[in-house]
Every structure is written in C-alpha cells, then in structure tokens.
Amino acid sequence: MTLRQHLEEMIEGLKKDVAHMADLALSNLREGLEAFKNSDHDLARIVIKKDDEVDQLEEEIAKQALKIIWREQPVASDLRLVTGILKLITDLERIGDHASDIAEMTLHLEGGINKRVLPITTHMAQIVEEMVLLSIKGLVQVDQEIAKVVIAKDDEVDDLFQQLILKMTTELKNDKIDANELIYVLMVAKYFERVGDHAVNIAQWIIFIVKGTHKNTLLF
C-alpha cells in the first residue's frame, strides 16, 4: 500500500466514524422527541444516559484526526478535510447535548400540556433531522451544493419557532397554559432550533473543506 492509499484509507475511516457519531446523535434526538410527545419519563432518562456515548465518540474522532495530521502530514484538500472534521464534530456533540436537554425538559412536563404545540414542534424536529442527515451526506460526498441546501432550510426552522412563540404567547394570555410549563415547552422548541443551527455550522465547514473559505472568509 502506498502512502497516498494509506492516507485515503484513514480519511475514509474518519468519515465513517463521523457518520456513526451523527447517527447516534440523531437517534438520541428522535428518542428525545418521542419522550416529549408521550411525556415518557423513562425514555427521557435513557436518552440522558446515552449522551455519554456521543461525547466519547467525539473524543475518539478528535484523537484520530490529530493522529492523521501528525503522522500523515496531509496537505491541501486532505488537510482541509481533516481540519473541517475536527471542527464539525463539536457541532455533532452539541446536537447530542440538545437531545439530552430535550429529555431533561420532558421530565418537568406533565402529560397533555405539550399536545397543543406538538404539530409545530414535530415539524421543526423533522426539518432539523433532515438538515443533519443532509449535512453528513454532504461531508461524505464532499459536496458543497448539499451544504447550501442545508443552510437554506434553516429559515423554515426559524419561521416555525416564531409561530410557536406566537401560539404559546396567545395561550398564556388566555390562561390556557401555566407560565412555567410554557417555559419548558419553548425551551424544547429552542433546542430543536439550535440543532438546526448546528447543522448549518456543519454545512459551513463542508464549504470550507471544498473551497478553503468559512463564512466567506478565506482560511486556507
């Protein structure tokens, strides 16, 4: 095996590990939503415990990426790819954290109160899940056009979050929801909105991998 083949093999392995980390973070996010929808406290506690696995994967991937930089000394596009992965795994770890945060908020909610806002929250969750899946696809394929689709979709999530705020404010004015419960429900929605932001961050790092620019600033 040539040095180039060995480097390519290590980079492909790194990308697969990132995809696995993303799958785990998304699985936790889906279960967090399920716990929220059904006021399932047992499932919420499971999601909180599983966050440690995502954290461990982030650490392992970071070590492997640094090992590639140190031992293989990649240049140009290869170095951008490994550097971009080092950056974006932080966003994947935060997505895992938000899944745990959603589960934590679920523990404070009583059954039924979240049903009135469930359609909006579920729609937000579906969009952000798609954004994360697309961002990882964009990374695996090193495709900036996919990354641009992810960035564009973030406006849909922001619009839904504003709709939710309006609905919850109206319910509070009409005494249909307790103020504390409103805060918990809005926080859950905010965590989904933040997941969308992290998917955008991943997409921006994909553009960096392709072009060497990050948020229109030339870095490489």
| Residue 164: Cβ-neighbour burial (10 angstroms; 0-12, 13-18, 19+) | buried
Give me the pLDDT at residue 114, please. Answer: 54
Give me the pLDDT at residue 74, please. Answer: 85
> Is 120 in contact with 46 (CB distance < 8 Å)?
no
Give me the pLDDT at residue 34, please. Answer: 92
* CA distance linking residue 61 with residue 139, whole number of Å: 15
Q: Token digits for 214?
A: 């990050």
Q: Which domains does the chain have, with CATH numbers?
A: 3-218 (1.20.58.220)
pTM higher than the cut 0.75 = yes
> Is 71 in contact with 14 (CB distance < 8 Å)?
no
